[in-house]
Amino acid sequence: MSSPLKIELGRRYRFSASHRLHSAHLTEEENCRVFGKCNNPYGHGHNYVVEVTVSGNVDPATGMIANLADLDAYVERNMLDEFDLKSLNEDVPAFRDTVPTTENLCIEIFQRLKSFPSAKLERIRIEETGKNSFEYSGENSEGNRQ
């Protein structure tokens, strides 16, 4: 008897948000040195591209690991509605005391989407700019937090 075929599915989503990189644990001078122009008191924005990768077994009846409409609705409800056209620092409670770097954004989005019921969340990849992208896969053998 053969085992079920496991497939990964990657789906891209886009949202726009602003943030200011600033840490209450640093002095004004340290914040300016560490975060440079991203420490602008008025913030700045990005058009983020988020790739959500899930995996699962192919359902023999549907030929899919997850229904895209279900995934889209889940991501809309748990991520896009919460982040799109928002100030991450001011409008997202998770970033009131955490610097909204894209690294921390990856972790937050992973936490919000890891309970998708139809497939296993493998990783979150965020493209912040054409030059910067970040990826988070949750807890693994190297001791990353989840």
CA distance 79 to 114: 11
Q: Domain limits at 120?
A: 6-17+45-136
Domain membership flag for residue 90: yes
pLDDT of 4 reads: 67
Instruction: Identify whether 38 is part of a domain.
Output: no
Burial class (CB in 10 A: 0-12, 13-18, 19+), 29: exposed
| Each residue's pLDDT tens digit, 38-81 | 999 999 999 999 999 999 999 999 999 999 999 999 999 999 99
For residue 75, what is the domain's CATH number? 3.30.479.10
Task: Please determine, for residue 115, whether its predicted confidence score (pLDDT) is greater than 80.
Answer: yes
DSSP state of 101: -
pLDDT at 146: 43
Dist. CA 140–CA 23, nearest whole Å: 27
pLDDT tens-digit series, residues 10-44: 999 999 999 999 999 999 999 999 999 999 999 99
Q: Which tokens belong to 57?
A: 């077994």
pTM: 0.90
Residue 82 placed within a domain: yes
pLDDT in tens, 70-90: 999 999 999 999 999 999 999
The answer as to whether 70 is a domain residue is yes
| DSSP H helices in the chain | 28-35, 68-75, 81-83, 88-91, 102-113
Residue 111 belongs to a domain: yes
Angle (nearest 5°) at CA 123 between 117 and 141: 105
Cβ atoms 95, 20 nearer than 8 A: no
How many domains would you assign to the chain?
1
Task: Please report the pLDDT score of residue 140 as a whole number.
Answer: 62
126 found inside a domain: yes
